Amino acid sequence: LKCLKLISGFATATSHSLTQSLQQFEICTMLNVALRRSCSLRPVGVRLLQQQHGLQASASLDRSIACRLMATSPLEAASKMYDDLVAKSVETYKSNQKAVSDDLDAELAKNKLVLFMEGSPDAPKSEPSLNVIKMLTQAQVVNFLAVDVLAHPAILGYTVTKSSRPRGPHLYLNGSFYADYDGLLTKFTNGELEKSLGTQTTKSTGTFGGELPIANY
């Protein structure tokens, strides 16, 4: 009789545990489906559901939530990340402002054209930087000094502060800010970029007259 009672108690406990596990599984499934189908469910809402149903937070679920939000709102997430990068870069620049400004101001003074971009002209590291290089090449805006803003946060902080434009690339003419990406695109489209800064002397002559030169490096 005692044995039967133990078995009965064990069966009841096992049944209760199994029921609880199934309920938790259903709740997790509900959260997963909601995350897949709606971008409005934020981590706060997920945490509230966890608390209501007695579920503990987990690092894997946190990563899953972050991935879902990035997948549902990639532009918003990328824009927020870039804004955070710019803010931290400005702080880094201001913490050592004199030394950074002295060095970069000297480069602006020595060079007629200075382009602050992501990467280098041969290897741009963003689509806007790549497009600007294409525009400057097509208009034959040469020669210019390229400065990689990704080399150090203070460099990005410097040009963002000096130009008052949070988004690059930034082109400087004779030490003064000339245009950002949108400005360069407008000037390139209406022909002003080629007329004001471009040159015809570097273009090919003869059979291929007027066409862009062939690189010989």
Residue of 4 and 161 predicted with greater confidence: 161
Q: Looking at residue 214, what is its pLDDT?
A: 57
Q: pLDDT by residue (tens digit) across 83-110?
A: 889 999 999 999 999 999 999 999 999 9
**Residue 33 above 50 pLDDT?**
no
Q: Is 171 helix (H, G, I), strand (E, B) or coil?
A: strand
**Residue 115 above 50 pLDDT?**
yes
Strand order of the sheet with strand 113-117?
Answer: 145-148, 113-117, 170-173, 176-179
Task: Indicate the helix (H) or strand (E) that contains 71.
Answer: helix 59-72
Let me know the angle formed at the C-alpha of 79 by 77 and 84, rounded to the nearest 5 degrees. 95
Beta bridge partners of 124: 119
Task: Indicate the helix (H) or strand (E) that contains 191.
Answer: none
Considering only CA atoms, which of 158, 152, 167, 164 is closest in space to residue 108?
158
Residue 132: how many other CB atoms lie within 10 Å: 28
Residue that the structure tokens 């130009």 belong to: 163
CA dihedral (44, 48, 51, 56) in degrees, to 10, reads -40
What global pTM score does this model have? 0.64
